[in-house]
Structures are given as structure tokens and as C-alpha cells.
Amino acid sequence: MRRSDQLPWVILGVLGVVLTALVTILAMRGCRGSPDDADATDDVGAVDAAATDAGATTATRSATSAVSPGSTDAPGPAGAADDTEGDEGAAADAGDVPADEGGPGEEGAAAGAGDVPTETLPLWDPGERPDSVSSDVPMAGEDLVEGDYFVQVTGFHPIERFVSFDVQQLLLGEAAVQYLLVHDPTAEIPPPNGYVLVNESDAIRSLDLADDARLWDWCYDGGALSYAERTFDEWVDAFFDGWSQECSAGADLGHGAYLFWLQVREGEVQRVIGQYLP
């Protein structure tokens, strides 16, 4: 082939190389992007980062608000927000339980506590009193509800069946000795006649007699100390007609020095027993 015939083909080859180089350059510029595109990409990335930080802050606040004011538990990290929601859901479920559906053990115990009967003190007959004893002493202003009180009777009401009295403290035997050791160590111990009588208040109280109350006066039976049971009417009449302490005196049997034990149960006098003191 002649040189003149080869020239067009050479030119076409050079143009192809040039075009190929231009395409390659343009492709490389498109991958790198323009400066404006790069700035836009950076701005988007900053927005995404800010959104991520905001989400973390929200999650942290949510976890913090789930901790009660008095709790010592520190709030967990933002990633623990789901666990916090679970805890809040459990708390909400617990709060949905009606108050009257508490645990059977606790409610049963509370209900049963009111059903337990209050045990009253046993009653005792004349002569059954221990040799060493201290009578009960109420606090100032306290009602006499349950106890064995030593009193001096000062009055009564025959119709309404109540008795008025001055509460004193009688200590017998070893109880009297222990009282003196604490309150009057220079006193004669054991005390003369084996008892100590204390009266720190002259306040007068009144109590109703139970319908089935029983009453006794002390008396001498052949020189020995004994007791005679009386009806309420006989006991009342003895305040006016009684003058003897012999058991055989009958209606003339008196009350001695008007000293009695009152056995009080549930706010009423259940038993009245005369007390002899030398």
C-alpha cells in the first residue's frame, strides 16, 4: 500500500487514542466529584451525626427519667433505653394491679389479725390470791378495763349498779419487800404484817357492776379468816346495817374498812372480794 493510502488510517488511530484518553479523564473527574458536591456530602454527614447525637441524648434522658428520685441506681447508657422501656412497662403493669388484689398471705394476715380474740385475765375466788402480789395500778386518766385493782369503796348506786372507789396499790409478801428495796431502802424489811399500802392519788373512779357479778365480804369463822358471799342487795345494806365481822352475823355482817379487790374484765366489775388488813 502506498503512503498516501495509509495516512487516513493513521489519523483515525491517533484520534481514537485521543478520544480514549479524554473519556478516561472525564470518568476520573466524575468519580472524584466537584468541590460543591464534596461540600454537600460533608453537610449531609454533619446532619446525620447531629441526628445521631440527638438520639443518644433523648435515649439518655429517657433512661434518666425512669429512675425514681430516691433511687440510688444510676441511669444506663443510651443503648439501654430499650431495657428501661421494659422496666417501665413492668412498673406500669404492677401499677395496674387493683389494690384489693394484694398477696393472699399479707391480706390474709391483716384480715386474720382482727379476728384473734383478746384473751381476758382469769377470775379468782377468795383465798386463791398468791402470797406475793402487787395490785394493778392505772395511769392517771386511764380507764380501768382489765385488771385486779385494790380499792377503798367510797360509794355506790343501788339502782344503776355502779360502785365508786379510790384505787390504791397493795403489795404483799416478796412484792412488798422488792418495792421497799427500791423506794424506801431504810424502811423495816420485811415490812410489819407483810404488806405495803401505797396511795399516790385520791381520785375517785366509778365502774359498773356486771349483771352476774359476785361479791364477798371477809369475816371470822371461829377465829379463822374466811369469806361470806353476798347478794348485791345484802352488800348494799351492809353499808348501813353491818357492824360485825363474824361470819355468823348474817345481815349484820359489815365491810370492815371498805377495802376490796375489784376484778375488772372488759370494763366491768366481775368480782368484788373483801380484803382484811391488820
User: What is the C-alpha to C-alpha distance for residues 258 and 245, in angstroms, rounded to an integer?
Assistant: 12
User: 45, 60, 75: which is the final residue of a domain?
Assistant: 60
Bridge partners, 261 (sequence order): 150, 273
**Distance between CA 211 and CA 268 in Å, rounded?**
9
SS (H, E, C) the chain: CCHHHHHHHHHHHHHHHHHHHHHHHHHHHHHHCCHHHHHHHHHHHHHHHHHHHHHHHHHHHHHHHCCCCCCCCCCCCHHHHHHHHHHHHHHHHHHCCCHHHCCHHHHHHHHHHCCCCCCCCCCCCCCCCCCCEECCCCCCCCCCCCEEEEEEEEEEECCCCEEEEEEEEEEECHHHHHHHHHHCCCCCCCCHHHEEEECCCCCEEEEEEEEEEEEEEEEEECCEEEEEEECHHHHHHHHHHCCECEHHHHHHECCCCCEEEEEEECCEEEEEEECCCC
Last residue of a domain, one of 36, 60, 84: 60
* CA–CA separation, 205 and 165 (whole Å): 6
Percent of all residues in the chain with a pLDDT value above 90, rounded to a whole number: 49
Alpha-carbon torsion (130, 133, 135, 137), positive or negative: negative
Domain membership of residue 180 (yes or no) is yes
Asked if 56 and 149 sit in the same domain, the reply is no
For residue range 158-204, what is the model confidence (pLDDT) as tens digits? 999 999 999 999 999 999 999 999 999 999 999 999 999 999 888 99
188: in domain: yes
Is the model more confident about 85 or about 152?
152
Please tell me whether residues 143 and 256 are part of one structural domain: yes
Same domain, 150 and 49: no
Is residue 186 in some structural domain?
yes
Work out the pLDDT band at 110, boundaries 50, 70, 90.
Answer: very low
Mean pLDDT, residues 125-132 taken together: 85
Average pLDDT over residues 123-144: 86
Q: 142 and 241: one domain?
A: yes
Distance of alpha carbon 146 from alpha carbon 263, whole angstroms? 8
Alpha-carbon distance 68 to 55, whole Å?
22
pLDDT of residue 96: 45
Q: Is residue 54 part of a domain?
A: yes
Residue 86 within any structural domain of the chain? no
Alpha-carbon radius of gyration of the chain: 52
On whether residue 126 sits in a domain, the answer given is: no
Instruction: Please indicate, yes or no, whether residues 147 and 247 belong to a single structural domain of this protein.
Output: yes
d(CA 236, CA 228): 14
Same domain? For 163 and 270 the reply is yes
141 with 44, same domain? Answer: no
Positive or negative: CA dihedral 62, 66, 69, 75: negative
**In which domain, by residue range, is 213 found?**
133-274
pLDDT of residue 29: 62
Model pLDDT for residues 56-102, shown as the tens digit of each residue: 343 333 333 333 333 334 333 333 344 444 444 444 444 443 444 44
Which of 60, 79, 111 terminates a domain? The answer is 60
Confirm whether 258 is domain-assigned: yes
pLDDT digits (tens, 9 = 90+) for 22-51: 766 666 665 554 444 444 444 444 434 344
Q: How many domains does the chain have?
A: 2
Instruction: Establish if 265 belongs to a structural domain.
Output: yes
What pTM was estimated for this model as a whole? Answer: 0.58
Q: What are the φ/ψ torsions at residue 132 (nearest 5 degrees)?
A: -115, 115
Task: Answer left, alpha or beta for residue 239, where phi above 0 means left and psi between -120 and 50 means alpha.
Answer: alpha
Please give the pLDDT value at position 127: 86
